[in-house]
Structure 1
Amino acid sequence: MKISAAFPNRRTFLAAVLAAALTAFGAAAAPDAHARNTLVMAAASLKDSLEEVAKLYERKTGNKVGLSFAASSALAKQIEQQAPADIFISADLDWMDYLAKRDLIRPDSRANLLGNRLVLIAPKAVASPMTIGKGDFPILQRLGESRLATGEPNSVPVGRYAKAALTHLGVWDNVEPKLVRAESVRSALAFVSRGEALYGIVYETDAKVDKGVEIVGTFPDDSYPAIIYPAALTAGSKAPDAAAFLAFLKSPDAFDVFRKYGFTPAPATQG
C-alpha cells in the first residue's frame, strides 16, 4: 500500500527503480570514466601481423588494443589534427620525423621496430619472373599499355621507396605516366590482385598475404632507402596500458609473429 501511495501507477514505479539503478551504476563507474583501451595507428602493411600480435597481447594480459590502419601519411595527418591515438607506427622515418618536429610524439619512447623489402608483383595467373637490375629491367616493355600500381610517390611510403628504386634503375621518367597512384600499399596490392594493373610495387610482407598475386622480382637493397618501421607513443596518449603494449611490440614474442609474416629486424641507421 505504501508503494502504491508513493507511485500511483506501475509505470511510474518502474521508471523510478530504473533511474535509481542508473544513478548507482554511474556512481560505480565514475572512477574509471577516463580509462580507455590503447589505440594504435599503424601503417597499412602491418595489418595482418599487428592484429595477431594484439590478440597475443590480449591473451597474455587481458588488456584490449584498438587498431587503425592506413597509409602512414594519412595517419600522421590525423594525429596532427588531434586524433586520439596512443601509439603511431610508420612505414618510414619521414612521417615519424614529421610528428616529432611538431612535438606530437614522446621522443624517449621512439624505437625502430621492423624492416621490410620492396618487391615487384603481378597477378598470379599471368606472373612470370623479371630481372631487376640497373641496365637490365624490362619493366616498360612488359607493361605495354597496362599500368603499374604503387603508393602515391609524393606521400605514401611505399610510393616513395618505389620512386627511389625506379629512379636508381633509370626507368622512372618512362614509367611514371603508367603509374596507378594508390592511397596505401594495400590499395596498390588490391589493384594487382584484381587484375586492374599488370604489375605492382609493394612490400614483400603484403605480397605474402594475398593469394591473388605472385612476387616476380625483388628490388636490389641498394636501389632504395632502407625500409624502417619506427614506433612511438603520441604526446597526447592517455591510455594507461599504452607504454606496456609498446614494450610488448619490441619483445621476442611479438617479433616471432612479425617474422612469420616476413618482416625483418629494423636495419641499423647511420648517424
Structure 2
Amino acid sequence: MIKRGMKPGVWLILAAFVLMLAGCGSNSGSAADPKSADSGAAAETSNREAAQQVELTISAAASMTDALQEIQQAYEAEHANVKLNFNFGASGALQQQIEQGAPADLFLSAAVKNMKALEDKQLIDSSHEKDLLANELVAVVNAKEPAQVSGMEDLKGTGLKKIAIGIPESVPAGNYAKEALTNAKLWDTLQPKLVQAKDVRQVLQYVETGNADAGFVYKTDALTSDQVKVAFTVDPSAYTPVVYPVGIVKATKHSQEAVDFYEYLQTDSALDIFKKYGFSVPQQG
C-alpha cells in the first residue's frame, strides 16, 4: 500500500531492494551445487596431473625406430605421467649432440664405442649402462628389380653401379660394413661404387627407390620394408659384434623417471617387442 506523500518511483526502488535482500538470504542458506563441486575437483586433478607430467628425451639409433615407437605406446599407456620424446639418428651424431649439451635423458646406441666415448667423458651414468640388444648386418637389394647378388664377391660385378652404406665415421652400420669389406679385401676396390648415407634408414631408402643397387643395413631394417629383400647375410666373423647399449645421461633432470624407463626396456614385455622386430639379446659374460 503506497503511503500518501510517497512518490511511486521511490516505492518501486524500496520494493526492489527488499526483494534483493530476500534472494541473498535464501541463497546463503542453500547447499553448493554438487555438479559444480565435482567439476571443480576434476579440473583441479587434471591440472595437477598435467603439472606433474614428465617428458623424457631419448636419443636412439635410427635402426630402433619401429620397435621403440611400439614400446612408446605400451609404456605411455601404463605411465600416464610420462611422455616419451625420441630423437632418432646415427649413433655417432647423437653422441656428438650429447657431448655438446643437447637435452637427453637416455641414450640407446647401435655401437658400444659411442656409449663408451660418453662414459669416458663422464656424461653417462656408469651404474645405469647395459648392453641391451644385438643385431646382424645384411646386404639388401630392390625387391622389384633385384641385382644378382648372393655374396660379397658379387659386389664387384659390372651390373652393380651403386652400393649404399652409412657414413663409417658416424653410422655404426657403415663402420661394420667397412670392416667386413676390408676383411674381404674389397673396400678399396669398391670405392667408386660406394654411396654414403647419413644413417641406416637412408641406406634402406636408397635401395627402395633404386638410387642404389645394393646396400648394407641391419637385419632389423630389412624386415621393416617389403620394397627390399635380403641378398645375403654378412659373415658375423668379418666385423665387430653388433651390440646396442643403453645408458642414462648424467645431465637428466628426471632421474627417477629415467631409471624407470631404463629398467622397463630390460623387461620381458619390452624385449619381446624388440625380438618381434628382429633384435636379439646379447650373450652376457
The interval holding the TM-score normalised by the smaller chain is: 0.7 to 0.9
Q: SS where residue 138 of structure 1 aligns?
A: helix
1:116-150 CA-partner distances (Å, limit 9, x unpaired): 010000111122663336xxx22111554x11001
Distance 1:130 1:218 in 2: 11
User: What number of residue pairs does the alignment pair up?
Assistant: 237
One-letter code aligned to 1:260: K
Distance 2:158 2:79 in 1: 51
Given that 1:37 and 1:241 are in contact with CA atoms closer than 8 Å, whether structure 2 keeps it comes out as no
Runs (4+) of structure 1 exceeding 6 A deviation are: none
User: In the alignment, is residue 105 of structure 1 matched against residue 117 of structure 2?
Assistant: no
The correspondence for 1:227, drawn from 231, 242, 248, is 242
Q: Structure 2 length as normaliser, TM-score?
A: 0.79
Distance 1:102 1:226 in 2: 24
User: In the alignment, is residue 207 of structure 1 matched against residue 209 of structure 2?
Assistant: no
Superposition CA RMSD, Å: 1.9
The correspondence for 1:258, drawn from 274, 280, 284, is 274
1:65 aligns with 84
Relative to structure 2, which stretch is displaced further, 174-183 or 54-63? Answer: 54-63
One-letter code aligned to 1:43: A
Distance 1:268 1:166 in 2: 28
The correspondence for 2:109, drawn from 83, 90, 108, is 90
Structure 1: 5+ residue runs without aligned partners?
Answer: 1-24
1:177 aligns with 192
One-letter code aligned to 2:157: Q
1:73-222 residue pairs with structure 2 within 5 A? 73-127=92-146, 130-132=149-151, 137-141=153-157, 143-144=159-160, 146-222=161-237
State the Cα distance separating 1:60 from its structure 2 match: 2.1
Distance 1:96 1:77 in 2: 11
State the Cα distance separating 1:36 from its structure 2 match: 2.8
State the Cα distance separating 1:98 from its structure 2 match: 1.2
One-letter code aligned to 2:209: R
Given that 1:88 and 1:233 are in contact with CA atoms closer than 8 Å, whether structure 2 keeps it comes out as yes
Given that 2:151 and 2:231 are in contact with CA atoms closer than 8 Å, whether structure 1 keeps it comes out as no
2:17 aligns with none
2:59 aligns with 41
Distance change >3 Å, CA 218–CA 88, structure 1 → 2: same
Relative to structure 2, which stretch is displaced further, 188-197 or 53-62? Answer: 53-62
- Percent of aligned pairs with the same residue? 35
State the Cα distance separating 1:55 from its structure 2 match: 1.0
1:22 aligns with none
Distance change >3 Å, CA 164–CA 209, structure 1 → 2: same
